[in-house]
Amino acid sequence: MKKGDHLFLVDGSAYIFRAYHALPPLTRKSDGLPVGAVSGFCNMLWKLVEESRDTTVGVAPTHFAVIFDHSSTTFRNELYDQYKANRTAPPEDLVPQFAVIREAVRAFDLPCIEKQGYEADDLIATYTKQAIAAGGDVTIVSSDKDLMQLVGPGVILYDQMKDKRLGPEEVKEKFGVYPEKMIDLQALVGDTSDNVPGVPGIGPKTAAQLLDDYGDLETLLERAEEIKQAKRRENLVAFAEQARLSKRLVTLDCDTPLDTPLDDLFLNEPDGEKLIAFLKAMEFTTLTRRVAATLEVSASDVETATIAVDTPARGPDLDPMAGSGPAAIGGGEDGAPRLALVPAMLVESRKGEAAAASFDHSAYLTIRDEASLRDFLAEATETGILAFDTETDALSAMNGKLVGVSFAVAPGRAAYVPLGHVSPNGEADLLSERSAEEEIGPQIPLETALAILKPVLEDPAILKVGQNTKYDTLVMMRHGIVVAPFDDTMLISYALDASASLSGHGMDELSERFLGHKPISFKDLCGSGRNARPIASCEIERVTHYAAEDADVTLRLWRVLKPRLAAEGLASVYERLEKPLVPVLARMEERGIMVDRQILSRLSGRFAQKQGGLEAEIAELAGEEFNPGSPKQLGEILFGKLGLPGGKKTKGGQWSTDVKVLEELAAEGHPLPSKIVEWRQLTKLKGTYTDTLPNHMDAAGRIHTSYSMASTTTGRLSSSEPNLQNIPVRTEEGRAIRTAFVAPEGKKLVSADYSQIELRILAHIADIPQLKQAFVEGLDIHAMTASEMFGVPVEGMPSDVRRRAKAINFGIIYGISAFGLANQLAIPREEAGLYIRRYFERFPGIRDYMDATKAFAKQHGYVETLFGRRAHYPDIKSPNASMRAFNERAAINAPIQGTAADVIRRAMVRMEPALAEAGLSAKMLLQVHDELIFEVPDEEVDATLPLVAKVMAEAPLPRVDLSVPLVVDAKAAENWEAAH
DNA sequence: GTGGTCTCCTA
DNA sequence: GTAGGAGACCACA
C-alpha cells in the first residue's frame, strides 16, 4: 500500500443486520433456505463493487476487505463481564444466512476477514491505522457510531444505504464533537445496545457540551466538582470510574494482530463466472442478470454452484453468546467453507427449548404509564421481535372495543397494558365516593397508548407476531394502525399441519401440543354463561396473567413453528398464500356488504304466511298437533301412527326423515311428507336467512362476515357470523334472498366466478387429453363426458343423460364410490359401479391419478396441491376400512379442491394492486370458493369486469401454467341474484 | 347452559 | 363420494 491507494473496509456484520431488517423475508425457492439477508447483502456489495469500478467518482478502491465479528466474546468481556450481555440471539431465520454470506464474499473474490476474540471494529481500526501510516486513504463502509472515532484526515465513513459520506465536520454536526472526542463522548453517554454503562443522566447533548467546556474526559472528571448542576455533578463524581471503564470499552484496538496483512487486501477484477455460479445457486435471478450484463458473462453458460452442506456440532443458535459469530462454521479440507444445514437443526433445538418451557405468571408486567410502555417496547427494538395480542370486549373484531393489549419480547418476558378496564362494580360505582381510577388503578389513555404503539407496530424493522393476526390487524386497523411486518402462528401451523385428524390451530391447542402447557382459558378468567363477565371488568392482575401469557405463548410458538416452514419446504405456501391474504380479508370484512332490510322482512312475512298454512295442513293430515321441526316426533307420526312403509333408516336409533326418505314416501302418493318437505324448506330459509341476517346488520345496513383462514383441511376459506358462503341459490324462493344483497346508490355489485375450475384442474393434474381438449374448445364438459361414456351425440342429448355424466364428473372430484354415486342418482349400486368402470375405461388417466394419489398419501401421510400446500391424512393407514376409504377419498379430493383454493387466493392477493394500478376503485367484498363479489361505481363497471376476469384467469401464473384455460364469468347488476 | 344429532344451505 | 356453518331439537348436567 502506498500513497494514492484507497482502502475500502466494509463492516460486514452491520451490513448483515441492516440487510435483514430492511428487507422482507425471502427464501430460496428450491429448498426454503432463508436468503433475505444474503440477497440484501449481495445487492449492497454488488452496488459497492459497481460504484468502485466507476473511476469518475475519484474514490475507486485499490484495496478492499469485508470484515466480520467472529464471536461476541472478546477482550472487552474481561474488562467488563456485562459487555453486550443484553444482546439476544439473532433472529432464527437469519442464523443460517451468516455462513452463506461469508460464502458470498468469497464469490465476489473479496477478502473476508475475522478474528477470534476481536470485534470487526477493532480489525477495521487496525487496518485503517496501517493504511494511513502507509500514506493511503480509507473509506469505512458502515454507519456505526462506534467507528466515528476513526474518522480523520484521509478517513471517511460511508453510509451506503443513505448514500452519505461522513468526514470530521459531519461527525461534529451529528454529535457535537469532532471525531477525536467521540471516544470521550461515548464514554459519558454509554451505549444501551452494547451495555456500555456511561454516566447516568448524561446524553449526547450534555456530553458534547461538557467536552466543549472541559476539553476531554479526564479533565472533566478531575474538575467535576466545579459543575453547577447538582445532579450532574454528583453523577460525574460517583460514576467517574464507570466512565473510565466505558472509555476502555468503546476505544477500538488499533493494534490487533492481523492474519491477513494489509497489502494482501489488493482488489482484483471480480471473477464473473465464480460470482454468477454462486448467485445462480442462491436463485437471485435479477442480480444474476445484472452482474452478467456488467461483467459481460453469459449466465446461462455458467454452471450453478453447489452449496455443500455440513452440520456443525453446535450452531450459533444454541449458544446465545455466539451472537453473530461464525464460530460454528468449519472449513472444508479443500479450504472451501461448508454451510451448516441449519433449518433442520434449528427445528430440533427449538423443539427442545419448547419442551423445557416453563411459565411464571407472576413475572408478567402490568403497564400503567407511558414511560414503562416505551421502555418495554424499546426492548422489541433491540430484539426485532414483538409478539402481541389484543383483548376486546366482543368476539368479533368488527364490534370489539379495545380493552387492553399484551406484548412479549422474549420467552417469559411479557406485559399487559390495560386500556379500557372499568370498575367491576359497574354502575354501583357511580354512587360510591371513589373514582374508577382509585379503584382499579391508573391506565394509559387509549389515544396516548395508540400513539406510542403506532410507530412500533408499523416499524419495518420489528416483526410483530400474533395468533390469528387478522383479528388483531382488524382491531388495530379500526384505530388507524397498519400492523406490518407480521407473522401469524396460526397460519404457520396451518401451512405446516393442515390435517383431517387434528382438530385445529387455536392457540390453546398449539400450546398444549408444542409447549406442553395449558394456558389460562378465557372461561377461567371471565366465567361463562350467566356468570360470564366482560373482560373489561375483570381484575386487572388476573387479566395480566391471562393476556400476557397469550403473548408469551404466541412468541414461544413462533420460535418452535417458524423454522419448520423453511425446513419442511412450506415457506412459499405461508408467504404467498397465507400471510398476504390476511390484510386483504381484514379489509373485506371491514367493508361488509350492503343488505336491504325491507326485502328480507317482506320475504320473512311471505314465508311466515305460507308456513302457517302448511302447519295447519300438516296437523290436519297427521290428525294431531305436533312439532314438524322435531325429527323424532315426525318419525313417530309417519312411521308409528300412520304406519307408512318407512325405509326404517336410522343412525342414532331413530327414524330417518331426511328429504330423500320423505320424497320417496311422497312418490308413493302420501300427501303429508311433501308438505313436510315444503315446510322445512320455508322454515330453513326463514330461520337461517330472512329472520337472522338482519340481526347481523350494522347501522349502515351492512353485514360483515368473518373469514376463517385455517379451518379447512384443503385451503379453502370458511365464513361465519354469518356464513355468507351458503346463501341459497338453487330454488327460486332461495334466490329471492340474494336480491337483498345490494350495492349502494351509484354502484353495482359485480360477481366473477371461475367456470368449472375443479374439473379443469383435474383435467390438468390427471392429464386427460379428451377433457383438456374439450376445455380448450370451450365445449359443454358434462355433455362431452356423456357422449364419451354412453355414445350419445351431444346434439339433442336427453337432459337426463347429461345429468348422470355431470354427477359422475363431480363424483370423480369427490373420490367417487359406487355407493355415493348410486345415492346421488337414485340408481342401484351395481349400475353405479358399471358407470364408474366405464368412466375409467374411457379416461384411464383418472384411475392412474387416483391410484397415484392414494399411494403418495399412504407413503407420505399427506397430499399436495400444485402450489405446494399440504393436507395431511394420517388415518389413511387406519385398519378401519371405512375410515381408510374416507381418507382415501378426501386425499383424492384435496389436491383438486386445494389447488382451486390456492388459485383464488392468489387472485385475491393480486386483485387490490391490479385495481389500484388500473386506477379503479372496485372493492372486493366476498369470496364464495370460486366466486368473488365486488362493489363497483357505475361508471367503472365496464373497465372493471375484464380486469377482474384477467387477474382471476391468470392467477396460477407464473408458478403454474395450466394446460387448460381458466374461464371467468363476470357480470354486474343491482343485486347479487342478478349479478350471479 | 353445554354438547351431540339431524337436517339443510353453499361450492 | 369432497369441503364447510348454522339452526332446531333434545338429553344431559
In this structure, of A82-86, A176-180, A511-515, A791-795, the range with the lowest mean pLDDT score is: A82-86
User: Which DSSP letter does residue A358 get?
Assistant: -
Q: How far is the CA of A407 from the C1' of B11 (A)?
A: 39
- Sheet (strand A385-392) strand order: A365-366, A413-418, A402-410, A385-392, A463-466, A486-488
Per-residue pLDDT at A87 exceeds 80: no
Q: How far is the CA of A156 from the C1' of B8 (A)?
A: 76
CA distance A405 to A765: 47
| Tens-place pLDDT, residues A578-592 | 999 999 999 999 999
Alpha helices in A312-442 (DSSP H): 342-355, 370-383, 428-431, 436-440
Over residues A155-162, the mean pLDDT reads 86
A390 in Cβ contact with A486 (< 8 Å) = no
Sign of the alpha-carbon torsion through A115, A117, A120, A126: negative
Pick from A514, A564, A515, A16: which is nearest to A342 by CA?
Answer: A564
% of chain A beyond a pLDDT of 70: 93
A734 in Cβ contact with A685 (< 8 Å) = yes
| Tens-place pLDDT, residues A852-868 | 999 999 999 999 999 99
Is strand B within 7 Å of residue A727 (CB)? yes
C-alpha cell, A747: 354502484
Is strand C within 7 Å of residue A214 (CB)? no
pLDDT at residue A867 in the model: 96
Please give the span between the terminal C-alpha atoms of chain A, in angstroms, as a whole number.
77
**Chain B bases having any atom below 7 Å from a protein CB:** 1-2, 5-11
pLDDT at residue A345 in the model: 61
SS (H, E, C) A849-915: HHHHHHHHHHHHCEEECCCCCEEECHHHHCCCHHHHHHHHHHHHHHHHHHHHHHHHHHHHHHHHHHH
Is-cis flag, bond preceding A320, omega within 30? no
∠ CA A879-A880-A882, rounded to 5°: 140
pLDDT at residue A14 in the model: 86
pLDDT at residue A894 in the model: 97
Is strand C within 7 Å of residue A116 (CB)? no
Q: Mark residue A296 as left, alpha or beta (left: phi above 0; alpha: psi -120 to 50; beta: remaining).
A: left
C-alpha cell, A334: 479443500
Is strand C within 7 Å of residue A722 (CB)? yes
Pick from A518, A682, A536, A535: which is nearest to A611 by CA?
Answer: A682
A934 in Cβ contact with A594 (< 8 Å) = no
Nucleotide nearest to A873 (CA to C1'): C2
CA distance A447 to A435: 21
Q: How far is the CA of A691 from the C1' of B7 (A)?
A: 18
CA distance A427 to A331: 72
A617 in Cβ contact with A626 (< 8 Å) = no
CA distance A129 to A747: 71
**Amino acid at site A152:** G
Alpha helices in A331-386 (DSSP H): 342-355, 370-383
User: Which stretches of A27-167 are assigned E, i.e. beta strand?
Assistant: 63-67, 112-113, 137-141, 155-159, 164-166
Residue with cell 318419525: A635
**Rg of the Cα trace of chain A?**
34
Please report which helix (H) or strand (E) contains residue A819, including its range: helix A818-825
pTM score, two decimals? 0.71
Is strand C within 7 Å of residue A694 (CB)? no
Average pLDDT, chain A: 89
Q: How far is the CA of A217 from the C1' of C3 (A)?
A: 73
| Tens-place pLDDT, residues A624-657 | 999 999 988 998 899 888 888 866 676 777 888 8
Give the Å distances, CA to CA, from A169 to A11, A138, A141, A710, A820: 22, 17, 18, 57, 83
Q: How far is the CA of A423 from the C1' of C10 (A)?
A: 40
Closest protein residue to B2 (Cα–C1'): A529
The strand pairing partners of A11, in sequence order, are A67
CA distance A673 to A256: 95
- The Cβ of residue A730 has, within 10 Å, a number of other Cβ atoms equal to 7
Is-cis flag, bond preceding A958, omega within 30? yes
In this structure, of A132-141, A747-756, A940-949, the range with the lowest mean pLDDT score is: A132-141
Per-residue pLDDT at A849 exceeds 90: yes
Is strand B within 7 Å of residue A659 (CB)? yes
Is strand C within 7 Å of residue A937 (CB)? no
Residues in chain A: 980
Q: How far is CA A917 from the centre of its chain?
A: 24
Residue with cell 383424492: A892
CA distance A599 to A611: 18
Per-residue pLDDT at A328 exceeds 50: no
CA distance A554 to A389: 9
pLDDT at residue A30 in the model: 66
- Collapsing DSSP to helix, strand or coil, A413 comes out as strand
CA distance A57 to A48: 12
Q: How far is CA A88 from the centre of its chain?
A: 23
User: Which DSSP letter does residue A332 get?
Assistant: P
Closest protein residue to B9 (Cα–C1'): A726
Q: How confident is the model at residue A796 (pLDDT cuts 50, 70, 90)?
A: very high
Q: Which residue has the higher pLDDT, A316 or A396?
A: A396
Is strand B within 7 Å of residue A335 (CB)? no
Over residues A111-116, the mean pLDDT reads 89
A131 in Cβ contact with A258 (< 8 Å) = no
Over residues A442-447, the mean pLDDT reads 97
Contacts of A436 (CB under 8 A, 6+ apart): A422, A423, A429
Sign of the alpha-carbon torsion through A58, A60, A62, A67: positive
% of chain A beyond a pLDDT of 90: 62
Contacts of A978 (CB under 8 A, 6+ apart): A739, A971
Per-residue pLDDT at A396 exceeds 90: no
Q: What's the CA dihedral at A102, A108, A109, A111 to 10 degrees?
A: -40
| Tens-place pLDDT, residues A677-733 | 999 999 999 999 999 999 999 999 999 999 999 999 999 999 999 999 999 999 999
Pick from A142, A136, A164: which is nearest to A68 by CA?
Answer: A142
Q: Which residue has the higher pLDDT, A83 or A677?
A: A677
CA distance A974 to A740: 10
A672 in Cβ contact with A621 (< 8 Å) = yes
Over residues A343-369, the mean pLDDT reads 86
| Tens-place pLDDT, residues A895-907 | 999 999 999 999 9
Q: How confident is the model at residue A314 (pLDDT cuts 50, 70, 90)?
A: very low
Is strand B within 7 Å of residue A651 (CB)? yes
Is strand B within 7 Å of residue A813 (CB)? no
Q: How confident is the model at residue A430 (pLDDT cuts 50, 70, 90)?
A: low
CA distance A916 to A36: 27
- The Cβ of residue A286 has, within 10 Å, a number of other Cβ atoms equal to 10
pLDDT at residue A648 in the model: 63
Over residues A176-204, the mean pLDDT reads 88
CA distance A619 to A625: 5
Contacts of A953 (CB under 8 A, 6+ apart): A965, A966, A967, A968
Per-residue pLDDT at A319 exceeds 90: no
- Collapsing DSSP to helix, strand or coil, A970 comes out as strand
A537 in Cβ contact with A423 (< 8 Å) = yes
Give the Å distances, CA to CA, from A291 to A99, A110, A299, A744, A854: 22, 16, 9, 53, 46
CA distance A832 to A649: 21
Q: What's the CA dihedral at A501, A504, A508, A509 to 10 degrees?
A: 20
| Tens-place pLDDT, residues A241-281 | 888 988 998 999 999 999 999 998 988 887 888 898 889 88
**Chain C bases having any atom below 7 Å from a protein CB:** 1-11
Q: How far is CA A546 from the centre of its chain?
A: 24
Q: How far is the CA of A632 from the C1' of C10 (A)?
A: 9
**Cβ burial, residue A217 (10 Å; 0-12/13-18/19+):** buried
Is strand C within 7 Å of residue A687 (CB)? yes
Pick from A294, A533, A547: which is nearest to A414 by CA?
Answer: A547
| Tens-place pLDDT, residues A732-745 | 999 999 999 999 99
Nucleotide nearest to A757 (CA to C1'): B11
The strand pairing partners of A307, in sequence order, are none
Count helices and strands in chain A by DSSP H and E runs: 40, 25
Instruction: Identify the residues numbered 924 to 963 in chain A whose C-beta atom is closer than 7 Å to any atom of strand B.
Output: 928-931
Residue with cell 388483531: A472
Closest protein residue to C9 (Cα–C1'): A630
Residue with cell 408469551: A552
Q: How confident is the model at residue A344 (pLDDT cuts 50, 70, 90)?
A: low
**Amino acid at site A944:** T
Contacts of A225 (CB under 8 A, 6+ apart): A233, A237
Is strand C within 7 Å of residue A725 (CB)? yes
